[in-house]
Amino acid sequence: MAIRERLSGNEAVAYAIKQINPDVFPAFPITPSTEIPQYVANYIANGEIDTEFIHVESEHSAMSATLGASAAGARALTATSSCGMALMWEELYVAASDRLPIVLALVNRALTGPININADHSDSMGARDTGWIQIYAESNQEVYDNFLQAFPIAEHKDVHLPIMICQDGFITSHGVENILLVEDDLVKDFVGEYEPEHYLLNAKEKMSVGPYAVSNYYMETKRAQRQAMMNAKQVILDMAEKFEKMTGRKYGFFEEYCMEDAEYAIVIIGSAAGTCKAAIEQIRATTGKKVGLVKIRVFRPFPEEELAQALSKLKAVAIMDRCEMFSATSGPLGAEVRAALYQSKSDVEAVNYFYGLGGRDITVQDFEDIFSCLEKIAETHEITDMYSYIGLREK
């Protein structure tokens, strides 16, 4: 029987870490992820797990220590947010190129500046090309479930890439929700023991990690990383299937909500999907209009073909970015989705919106207005502005 609890998203991640009992956890505090190492440190102090907690002087050091532990053969992880991730930047690339199966609990927070401690996706989206797998959650239940799947995905022999499990700062990280926890013995069986094939402390094998790569080797290294990312797609689905058999909770690359007959849809990442679902239910109940939602769970590797297929029967789609990219036409998610539609030769009208930057609220009414705009776009085939902000105070 599943264990019923009420936990914040940070508590849920810390509880998952307790159940996994990793070998090493270096961390440096930063809002809103500080609670995660705090809770884990309490578990360690109380003798509930035997994880080695390393107090470091910065987030750069936290990731550096995590890299070293993973390279030595330990199951290692850390947690951070916002500018903490920015301080780790060079180490993110090192972790991916060294093919270290590190897990990062990332609590999404706007990147400075100006200084802001609330949720948007500028930290993780800024790291979208570092070579890390990225999985996002709408709810506390999802972030817990995603975290349990993280190590089996990252450590799989066909993958061996670092993975970040993302949740929205304060919205899920500090908000308390009802949650179903998996029993400890089932978690241990699901995650398994980490038995690396190659590691620095293996006395039977001489090796180096992170050597200098001259031009003759660098490109092949990147191609190998790309192959691992491609392999990760099937591994993510396999782990989701295994997880469903254990818990009954189903996951994939994305969730389709009311998409069976939808003519207009929104594509979004993270906690705002819940607000969008409420808008969809209200619109369908009051007007009968066929509106739906595709909530992206896996952003890296990006499920291009699968997503294009899911959107193929629509008249119009709005792609919602909680992160600026300062490009001419779109944000990070907008660019990926529109590229997928173009590659599939889709004739679906697509428009991109920015919302929730720095933690600004988005409401049911906002989503209703977006669906109204999609109707007009489908009728006129005219998109007046590909660069609109939802809830922006304008002159």
Question: How many whole angstroms separate alpha carbon 165 and alpha carbon 108?
Answer: 10
Task: Provide the pLDDT confidence category of residue 386 given band limits of 50, 70 and 90.
Answer: confident
Quick one: pLDDT at residue 8? Answer: 98
Peptide bond before residue 301 is cis, with ω within 30 degrees of 0: yes
Write the single-letter amino acid at 166: C
> Over the stretch 268-324, which tens digit does the pLDDT of each residue have?
999 999 999 999 999 999 999 999 999 999 999 999 999 999 999 999 999 999 999
pLDDT > 70: percent of the chain: 99
Average pLDDT score, the chain: 97
Domains of the chain: 3-247 (3.40.50.970), 254-389 (3.40.50.920)
User: Is residue 328's pLDDT more than 90?
Assistant: no
| Length of the chain measured in residues | 395
Question: How many whole angstroms separate alpha carbon 71 and alpha carbon 49?
Answer: 22
Q: DSSP character for 270?
A: S
What does 34-71 look like in DSSP terms, one character per residue?
Answer: THHHHHHHHHHHTTS---EEEE-SSHHHHHHHHHHHHH
The model scores a pTM over 0.85: yes
- Least confident among 2-11, 36-45, 156-165, 380-389: 380-389
Q: Per-residue pLDDT averaged across 327-339, rounded?
A: 94
* Residue environment code for 105-136, b if the CB has 16+ CB neighbours within 10 A, otherwise e: bbbbbbbeeeebbbbbbbbbbbbbebbbbbbb
Quick one: pLDDT at residue 113? Answer: 87
SS3 of 25-44: EEECCCCCCCHHHHHHHHHH
Quick one: pLDDT at residue 395? Answer: 67
Q: Give 38's strand partners.
A: none
Instruction: Give the dihedral of Cα atoms 337, 339, 341, 345; nearest 10 deg.
Output: 180
Residue 24 has which token pair? Answer: 């090493």
Q: Per-residue pLDDT averaged across 350-368, rounded?
A: 97
Question: How many whole angstroms separate alpha carbon 21 and alpha carbon 130?
Answer: 27
Quick one: pLDDT at residue 329? Answer: 84
User: What separation in angstroms does the CA of 251 have from each of 106, 137, 354?
Assistant: 20, 11, 26
Peptide bond before residue 152 is cis, with ω within 30 degrees of 0: no
- Least confident among 82-91, 203-212, 301-310, 348-357: 203-212
User: Is residue 387's pLDDT more than 80?
Assistant: no
User: Is residue 361's pLDDT more than 80?
Assistant: yes
Question: How many whole angstroms separate alpha carbon 296 and alpha carbon 270?
Answer: 8
Q: What 3-state class would DSSP assign to 79? A: strand
Question: How many whole angstroms separate alpha carbon 300 and alpha carbon 286?
Answer: 37
- What DSSP element (H or E) covers 318? strand 316-321
260: buried, middle or exposed (CB in 10 Å: 19+, 13-18, 0-12)? exposed
> Over the stretch 146-190, which tens digit does the pLDDT of each residue have?
999 999 999 999 999 999 999 999 999 999 999 999 999 999 999
Residue 333 has which token pair? Answer: 């998610």
Q: Per-residue pLDDT averaged across 242-248, rounded?
A: 98
Task: Provide the pLDDT confidence category of residue 98 given band limits of 50, 70 and 90.
Answer: very high
User: Is residue 45's pLDDT more than 70?
Assistant: yes
> Over the stretch 106-146, which tens digit does the pLDDT of each residue have?
999 999 989 999 999 999 999 999 999 999 999 999 999 99
Residue 1 CA from chain centroid, whole number: 28
Residue 144 has which token pair? Answer: 């817990």
Question: How many whole angstroms separate alpha carbon 41 and alpha carbon 27?
Answer: 10
Q: Which of 339, 333, 368 is nearest to 353 (CA)?
A: 333
Q: Kindly report the backbone phi and psi dihedral angles of residue 297, in degrees, each rounded to the nearest multiple of 5, phi listed first.
A: -100, -45
> Over the stretch 257-273, which tens digit does the pLDDT of each residue have?
999 999 999 999 999 99
Q: Give 298's strand partners.
A: 135
- What DSSP element (H or E) covers 16? helix 9-20
